[in-house]
Amino acid sequence: MAVAQQGADPATSATGEIHADRPGPRMNRQVFGQFAEHLGHGIYGGIWVGEKSAIPNDHGYRRDVLDALRAIKVPMVRWPGGCFADEYHWRDGIGARAKRPVKINTNWGGVDEDNAFGTNEYMGFVERLGAESYVSANVGSAAPSETAQWVEYMTSPSGSTLAKERAANGHPAPFKLNYIGIGNELWGCGGNMRAEYAADLTNRYALFAKAGGTNKLLKIASGPSDANYEWTETMMRLAGKNIDGLALHYYTRPRDKVWGDKGPALGFSENEWASTMAHTLQMDEFVTKHSAIMDKYDPEKKTWLVVDEWGTWYDPAPGSNPGFLIQQNSVRDAVVAGVNLNIFAHHADRVKMAAVAQMVNVLQAMLLTDGARMVKTPTYWVFDLYKPWQDATVLPIDVTSPWYHKDAFALPAISASAVRDTAGQVHVALVNLDPTRAIPLSVALTGVAASSVSGRIVTGANMDSHNSFEQPDVVKPASFGAAQIAGGTLTATLPAMSVVVLDLH
Ligand code: AHR
């Protein structure tokens, strides 16, 4: 229900209502998960530099990256791919590093992969972050026995030969394996499969992925991308009873017609900004329609929709290896992040986990590194703002928004979500995706006993304002003072192209 505010002009002002008296589902902290693939400098140089590196490290892991990721409470890390996963053989990545085979990363740049970062290194990484583990099994080019043995190696508490091998590699206690992906993009780089065949393989591989001891392991099927509803229908019909989650991949590409022409990460036009926002708003339609299909087979909503690859995908940074998917990250990406996190909040009953692609140095990254230097991106700062959303109760919020018009695009300018955090405090996220004008907003607070408000904002002077290694603090959160509460109504003026998170007191 939208609330008409006396005097508010719907063409220029937003109005709304938060229904704190009607609490919704929990927003799992796992929705703030991240994806780390063996791709470019996503792992090597970005997370892992090795113990002998001059870059300060904790047993080979970059200290600056660990500190930055801990600060935003990364809840889950998906690894080792992506397309890399369906060519990955776990045995290549265990034991003495000097003896591990060197392979070619055929998906990403054709570079040598020396397997220095393997299972023990990955588990050490998530343990250091306090995050959950999510590995993608090789379904495309390996037998189910390989998945079965990998799971046994990771989780078996017994004296089996594989458990002893893990102990000999430095980890006598089982690792905690929370999630396993049954292949990745089986319709594409995971094996070019038909949905029926992929569903049959999902049943087979999921059966043999048996975790040891008390390890509860959730199995995530390789799902559709974008609007491939037939895949969801088939996977749920044929394999729905044997899986705990279904993946969904959707990348925001401003020019979605040709893969080779996605548009630059910086120096884009306002038309391209509007196109980016129009494309990212499609996430809501995809989640809604895939969820509706899942509802037919799983009306109790036990099966998670896991959006384990999402984010922007632009042309590679000029001069970089095109196979490394390096791109800068600007205010546009911050707004995209806020819009998507709000969409996930609105679908918190079904979207129980997600992973932004990717964590470091790849696509819509949290962090960029260059040798010893590291910079936090605008997307990182949005994840920082949304920390109270982790495990919070979603509160229904209705907003009637003015429209943002640019060329052929007409989009609602305001995206919003609201939660009550685990300590009982209410928070409101407001995104103004219009890059040209500030928007006044007035929201009735039903069921919220708050009398004051504080907040933080992420915005920039230009649509492509960004942080570079030379100027790392161009885009970072600032305190936001343009909000008030009076008479049970929250009012604020949202600057153009901004992400604002308000804390109600
Ligand atoms: O994130 C980059 C790639 O995008 C992944 O490897 C693949 O799953 C997707 O197509």
pLDDT given for residue 317 in this prediction: 96
Which pLDDT band holds residue 258 (cuts at 50, 70, 90)?
confident
Distances (CA, A) of 389 to 341, 382, 409, 427: 9, 12, 30, 8
Q: Is the CB of 464 under 6 A from ligand 1?
A: no
Distance between Cα 8 and ligand 1 center (Å): 45
pLDDT class of 2 with cuts at 50, 70, 90: very low
**Distance of CA 15 from the midpoint of ligand 1 (Å):** 39
Tens of pLDDT, residues 297-321: 999 999 999 999 999 999 999 999 9
Our answer on whether the CB atom of 308 is closer than 6 Å to any ligand 1 atom is no
Residue 149 CA to residue 156 CA, distance in Å, equals 10
Strand order in the sheet with 483-486: 397-400, 14-19, 439-446, 489-494, 483-486
State percent of the chain over pLDDT 70: 98
Looking from the CA of residue 358, the nearest atom of ligand 1 is 1
State the alpha helices, DSSP H only, in 258-410: 270-297, 331-346, 378-385
What does R_g of the chain's alpha carbons equal in angstroms?
23
Spacing, Cα 376 to ligand 1 middle (Å): 22
Give the position, in ligand 1's atom list, of the atom nearest the Cα of 35.
Answer: 1
Mean pLDDT in residue range 127-138: 98
pLDDT one-digit tens code per residue, 401-426: 999 999 999 999 999 999 999 999 99
| Ligand 1, atom 5: closest residue by C-alpha | 82
Return d(Cα 221, Cα 134) in angstroms, integer.
12
Question: What percentage of residues in the chain have a pLDDT greater than 90?
Answer: 96
**CB-ligand 1 contact for 309 (6 Å cutoff):** yes
The amino acid that residue 312 corresponds to is T
- How far away, in angstroms, is 189 Cα from ligand 1 center? 8
Mean pLDDT lowest among 11-15, 136-140, 178-182: 11-15
**Chain position carrying tokens 């590194």:** 369
Across the beta sheet with 392-395, what order do the strands follow?
26-27, 392-395, 414-420, 426-432, 498-504, 453-458, 478-479
Whether 379 and 32 have beta carbons less than 8 Å apart is answered as no
Burial 278-309 (b: 16+ CB within 10 A, else e): bbbbebbebbeebbebbeebbeeeebbbbbbb
pLDDT tens digits, 55-90:
999 999 999 999 999 999 999 999 999 999 999 999
Supply the mean pLDDT for the chain. Answer: 96
d(C-alpha 49, C-alpha 71), whole Å: 20
Q: Is the pLDDT assigned to residue 7 strictly greater than 90?
A: no
Kindly tell me if the per-residue pLDDT of 454 is higher than 80. yes
Q: How far is the CA of 227 from the centre of ligand 1 (A)?
A: 17
Q: 471 and 375 in contact (C-beta within 8 Å)?
A: no
Ligand 1 atom 7 nearest Cα: 82
Assign domain 27-391 to its CATH architecture: Alpha-Beta Barrel (3.20)
Q: Are strands 414-420 and 392-395 parallel, antiparallel or unpaired?
A: antiparallel
Helix/strand/coil (H, E, C) string of 26-73? Answer: EECHHHHEEECCCCCCCCECCCECCCCCCCCEECCEEHHHHHHHHHCC
* Atom number of ligand 1 nearest to Cα 83: 6
Is the pLDDT at 6 greater than 50, yes or no? Answer: no
Centre of ligand 1 from the C-alpha of residue 306, in Å: 15
Report the pLDDT value the prediction gives residue 50, as an integer from 0 to 100. 98
The Cα 361–Cα 358 span in angstroms is 7
In sequence order, what are the beta bridge partners of 427?
419, 503
Annotated active-site residue in 121, 152, 185, 272: 185
Q: Which of 37, 78, 327 to mutate to test the pocket of ligand 1 (most atoms within 8 A of CB)?
A: 37
Q: Which residue in the block uniquely carries the two structure tokens 């409101």?
A: 428
Comparing C-alpha atoms, which of 461, 464, 456, 466 is closest to residue 492? 456
Q: Give residue 357's identity as a one-letter amino acid code.
A: A
Q: What is the pLDDT of residues 323-349, one digit of tens each?
A: 999 999 999 999 999 999 999 999 999
Domain ranges of the chain: 2-22+397-504, 27-391
pLDDT, one tens digit per residue, over 172-222 is 999 999 999 999 999 999 999 999 999 999 999 999 999 999 999 999 999
Query: In the structure, what pLDDT confidence band is assigned to residue 97 with cuts at 50, 70 and 90?
Result: very high
Closest ligand 1 atom number to CA of residue 108: 6
* Closest C-alpha residue for ligand 1 atom 8: 82
Mean pLDDT for 456-479 is 98
The number of the ligand 1 atom at minimal distance from the alpha carbon of 363 is 1
Distance CA 147, CA 204 (A): 11
| 185 counts as catalytic | yes
Q: Does residue 4 surpass a pLDDT of 60?
A: no
51 is catalytic: no
Mean pLDDT of 90-98: 97
Q: What is the mean pLDDT of residues 365-379?
A: 98
Confidence grade of residue 256 (pLDDT, cut at 50, 70, 90): confident
Q: What is the predicted pLDDT for the residue at 11? A: 81
> CATH number of 2-22+397-504: 3.30.70.20, 2.60.40.1180, 2.170.150.70, 3.40.50.2300?
2.60.40.1180
Report which of 222, 223, 225, 220 is spatially closest to residue 245, judged by C-alpha positions. 220
Among residues 295, 306, 152, which one has the least CA distance to residue 221? Answer: 306
